[in-house]
Structure 1
Amino acid sequence: MKALVRLVLLPWRGHAVVMLGGLTLYAIALWLAVFLGPDATLMVFLPLFLLAMQLLGLLLGRVMAPLLINESLLLPNFRRRLVQAGLLIWSGLFGLTAAVLSGSGHETFIPIAIGVGTLVWACAVAMSVEKIYLAVILVLVFGPQLVAPPQLAMVIAGLQSGWASVLLVFSGALVLWHAFDRRLRPRDPREAGSPMAMVNSRWVRSPADAHAHARGPGALLRAVFEGGADYTLQRAIKRQRRRDTPWRRAVLFRAVLMPYDNVIGIILNTVLVIGGSVGLLALALYGGRATGAPAHVMAYMALIVARLRCTSMGASFARMRPHLADLYLAVAPERNASFQRRIFDTLATVIPIVAIEAVLGGVLLYAVLGDRSPGAMLGALAIAALGMGAIDLSMELLGPRGRAARFALMLFTMALYVGVYGLLYIACVWAGAPMGLVLTGVPVLAAAAGVFWLARDSFADQPPVFTPGA
C-alpha cells in the first residue's frame, strides 16, 4: 500500500505547480458545468476539460517514464502497482467528473467526457514514450473547429452513446499498452557509443537495439533517416580530412550535432509535417470551406509543430554531451570559447528551418482554409517563427534542466509563439499588412536578436561540458 500511495502522489513531488495548474483547469471545467446548469453546452465544458486531461496526462507520463528502468522493473510487484496506480488516478479523475455532471443535470455529457477524455489522457501519458500520439490529441482538440455544425452534431450524437464511450476507453487502454509494453520488459543496457565511431556501424549502438529497430511500421522511415545521417557524417569526415577549412569544419560540426538535419532528413521531415497537416485539414474540406478563427487556430498549430524542432534539438544536445569530447579532440580548438561559439552557431541553423516550415504550413492553410489577409497571416507566421525561434533556441541551450522547470518553459514558449503571432496579425488588421508588420515585426526581431546574441556570448563564456543533462 505504501508503494501504491507513493506512485499516486509522485506527480506532486517536484511538479506541484504544474499539477496545481492542471487541477485548476479541471476544476474550472467542472465549475462551469455546475454554474451554467442546464444552459451549459458541451462546447463550453469540453475544451477546458480536454486541456486539463492533456496537461495532467503529460505530467503523469513525464514522472512515470523515468521509472521504467531495469532496476525498477526487477522490484517485486512493480508492474502490478503501476497498473493499480494508473487505474486509481483514472477512477478518481473520471469518477468525480461523472458524479459532478450527473449532479448538475448533464447526464448526456458523461459518455463523451469519459470516452474522449480517457483517449486524450492516455495519449498524453503515452507521449512520454511515443511522440506520435501528439497527432491524436491535435485531432481531438482542434478537429471539431474544422467541421461544419451539421456533421459535428452527428459526430457528437454518436460519441454520446454508451458503446462509443466503452470503445474510446478501450482505445485509450490499447494506446497505453502499445506505448509502454516494450518499456515494461527488462532489457540489456545500451552501449555508450560515440558519434565519431558510428561511421561503419549504421548508427546502431548494440545488437539489442538493432533487433528492436528492424521491425515495425517505422523501420523503413528510420532506415532512411539513419542512412542519410550516416552518409552525411562519412562525407563530412572524409572532406575534412582531405582539407581542413573553416567551411568543412562547420559541416562536420553540423553532421555530428544535428545528424538528422541533413538534406534528406529536412526534406523528409517537412514532407511528413505537411502530410500530417493535410490529413488534419481534410476535416475542413469535409465540413465546408472554413475561414476566420479556425484558420488562425491552425496557424497556431503550424507554429507549435514547427517549434518542436527546437525542443527536440535541445533535448538531443543535452543527451549527447558526452560525445562532444570526441568532437573536441577531433577539431582541437585553440580556445574553449571558439569551440562553444561554433556549437551555438551550428545549432542556430535550426532557426531558419523552423521559419520555413511555419511559412509552408501557412501557405497550406491559405490554400485550404483561405484568409481575408494572406499577406498578414504569412508575414506574421514568418516573423513569429523567426523571432521566437531565436528566443526558443537560447532558452533550450541556457535554460534550466529540471523536468518541472523545462515543462513550464515549454508552456511559456508555446504561449509566446501564439501571443506574438496574434499581436502581429492584429497590428496588420489595424494598420494594414505592410505597415503592421513593420511596426510590430521590427521590435520583435530586434528583441529576439538581442536575446540571441546575449545567449551566444553567455554560451561561449561557459566551459565545454561533457556530462549528460548538465
Structure 2
Amino acid sequence: MSVAWQLWLQLFRRTPMLVLLANLLRLAAAYCAARWLLGDEEFVIFAATLFGLAIWMWHTGLGYQLRSLCLPESFLLPNFRRRLLEYGAIDVAMWVALPMIVAAIGGAPHLLLVTGGLLVIAGTGLLMGSNPRTSAYIWPFFIVLGWVPSFANTLFKQSLRSPLTPWLLLAVTALLLRFSIAPLLRIEDRETEASPLESTSLGRTQTRGAPGEPRRLGLFGKRITALYERLAERALQRALAAYRRKPSFQRRTILVRRLLLPNDNPQAIMLRIALVGTIVCFYFVAVMHRQQFNPVIVGAYAIMLSITRFPQLNVGMVRMRPNMADLYLTLAPQTRAEYQQTLSDALLILVPISLLTALVYTALGAVLVHAPDPWRMLFVATIVSLATSLAALALHLIGPEGTVGRTIVNLVVVFGTMAVYWGGYWLVGEAGYALGGGVLALVALGFGAGVWFAAQREYVSRAPRFDAPIM
C-alpha cells in the first residue's frame, strides 16, 4: 500500500488540478448515486455521466504519469513491474469494482455492459495520457459515427441486446491497454535529444514532463523527423558558409537563428505547413458534415493554430539555458545587452512565420468550407495574426516560467485573440475595409507593436541566464 500511496502522491504532484477535478466529479457522482438509491430515478443519468467523465480524466492523468515513470532506470528498482500491477489492481477496485457494487445494490440493469463500458473509458483515458500518438486513431471513429447518427443509435440499441457485447468491450479494453502500456514497458536505447525549439508539429501533444523521458515516435514520425534534421543541417551549413564568405550583422543573425530555430528554414516551414494542412483538410471535411457550422470560425481556428508555437518558445528557452553559454562565448558580445538584442532579433522571425501559417490555413479552410466572404476573413486574419504574434512573442519571451503562470498567459492570449478576431470581422463588415480595417489595424497593431517594443526593452535590460532549470 505504501508504494500505491507514493504513486498516488506523484500523480497529485504532477497534475494536481486534474486529480482535484476528477475527485470532485466522483463526489458529485456519489451524491447523485445516493439520491438514486433513495428513489430519485432521474439522478441515475447524472451519476453515470459524471462518473464516466471522472474516470476518463483520472486515467488520462495516470497515463501521463506513467510516461515519466516508466524510464529505463526505473526498471532497475526491485519488483517494479509487480508494483505497477498491484497499483493497477487497486485502481480497478476503486474505479470499477466499487461503483459496480453500488449499481448492483440499486438494481441497475445491464451490469456487465456498464462494467465493460467503464473499462473502455478507463483504457481510453490511459491511452490518451500515455501514448497520445496512438490515441489520435480514436477520434476518427467518433467522427464517422457523427456522420451517421441514425446508424450509431441503431448500433447502440442492438449492442444492449447482444450477449457478445460485454466480451467485445473486454477485447477493446485489452487492445487499449496493449497500445498504452506495452510501449512503456519496453526498455529501449534513448534517442538523441532534440532541440526544445524544434517545432516539427510531430508529437506536439507529447511534451516530455521529465528529463530524459524518451520520445516515442512511430515509423512515419521517425521518417519525417529525419527529413527535418537533414533540412536543418543543410540550412545551417548554408548560413555558416555565407557568413564565412562575407561576415555581416544580418548573416550573423541568420546563423544564430539557424542554431536556435533549426526547423524554421523555408523548406522545413513548407513541410510543416503541408503536414498540418493535410490534417486540417481532414478536419474540415469531417466538420462540413454537420448542419450547424459557421465558416467564419475558420480564420479564428487558423490563428489559434499559428500561435501555438509561442508557449513552446517560453519552455524551450528555459530548457536551453545551459547550452546558451556556448553561444554567448562564441558570439563574444561587447555587452550583455548586445547579446540579448541578438537573441530577440533572431526570435523575431517567428512573427512573419506565424503570419504566413495563419494566412495559409485560413485560405485553405475558406476553400474547403466554401466561405461566403473569404477576402474579409483573410484581411481580418492578417491584421489579427500579426498583432497577436507580436503580443504572444513578447509575453512568452519575458513572461512567467512556471506552469501555472505560463498557462494563464496562454489562455489570455488565446481568448483575447478570439475576441479581437470576431470583433474585427464584425467591424469590417459594418464599416467597410477602409474605415473598419483602419480602426482594427490601429488598435490591434498598435497594441501588438507596443507590447513587443516594451518587452524587447525589458528583455535586453535583463542579464543573460545560463543556470539549468529546476525540474
TM-score by length of 1: 0.74
Q: Do 1:314 and 1:396's aligned partners in 2 also have CA atoms closer than 8 Å? A: yes
- CA RMSD in angstroms comes to 4.7
Give the match for residue 12 of structure 1.
12
Distance 1:166 1:444, change over 3 A: farther
Structure 2: how far apart are the matches of 1:459 and 1:148? 54
> Which of 156, 173, 180 lines up with 1:176 in the alignment?
180
Q: Do 1:290 and 1:369's aligned partners in 2 also have CA atoms closer than 8 Å? A: no
With 248-257 and 58-67 compared, the bigger mean Cα shift is at 58-67
Shift of residue 327 of structure 1?
2.0
Is residue 2:127 matched to residue 1:126?
A: no
Question: Counterparts in 2 of 1:64-103, with a 5 A limit?
Answer: 64-85=66-87, 88-89=90-91, 92-93=94-95
Return 5+ residue gaps in structure 2 as ranges: 198-211
Q: Do 1:300 and 1:418's aligned partners in 2 also have CA atoms closer than 8 Å? A: yes
The AA in structure 2 aligned to 1:330 is T
The percentage of aligned residue pairs carrying the same residue is 24
Return 5+ residue gaps in structure 1 as ranges: 196-208
- What is the CA deviation profile of residues 409-459 of structure 1, one whole-angstrom value per residue up to 9, with x for unaligned ones? 555544444444444445556666776555555433333333222222222
Give the match for residue 205 of structure 1.
none
The AA in structure 2 aligned to 1:237 is L
Distance 1:189 1:163, change over 3 A: closer
Give the match for residue 2 of structure 1.
2
Shift of residue 91 of structure 1?
6.0
With 258-267 and 143-152 compared, the bigger mean Cα shift is at 143-152
Q: Do 1:383 and 1:441's aligned partners in 2 also have CA atoms closer than 8 Å? A: yes
Give the match for residue 237 of structure 2.
234
> Which of 244, 262, 265 lines up with 2:265 in the alignment?
262
TM-score by length of 2: 0.74
- What is the CA deviation profile of residues 326-385 of structure 1, one whole-angstrom value per residue up to 9, with x for unaligned ones? 222222211111211221222232222223223322222222223444344444444443
The AA in structure 2 aligned to 1:310 is F
Shift of residue 275 of structure 1?
0.8
Question: Counterparts in 2 of 1:323-338, with a 5 A limit?
Answer: 323-338=323-338
Tell me how many residue pairs correspond in the alignment.
443
Q: Which has the larger radius of gyration?
A: 2
Question: Counterparts in 2 of 1:139-154, with a 5 A limit?
Answer: 143=143, 147=147, 149-150=149-150, 153=153
Structure 1: how far apart are the matches of 2:157 and 2:378? 37
Distance 1:257 1:442, change over 3 A: same
SS in 1 for 2:240: helix
Structure 2: how far apart are the matches of 1:348 and 1:99? 59
Q: Do 2:130 and 2:180's aligned partners in 1 also have CA atoms closer than 8 Å? A: yes
Distance 1:157 1:401, change over 3 A: farther
Structure 2: how far apart are the matches of 1:359 and 1:29? 45
Give the match for residue 343 of structure 1.
343
Give the match for residue 244 of structure 1.
247
Give the match for residue 355 of structure 1.
355
Distance 1:192 1:387, change over 3 A: closer
Structure 1: how far apart are the matches of 2:118 and 2:217? 37
Structure 2: how far apart are the matches of 1:440 and 1:26? 46
Give the match for residue 398 of structure 1.
398
Question: Counterparts in 2 of 1:151-162, with a 5 A limit?
Answer: 153=153, 162=166
The AA in structure 1 aligned to 2:254 is V
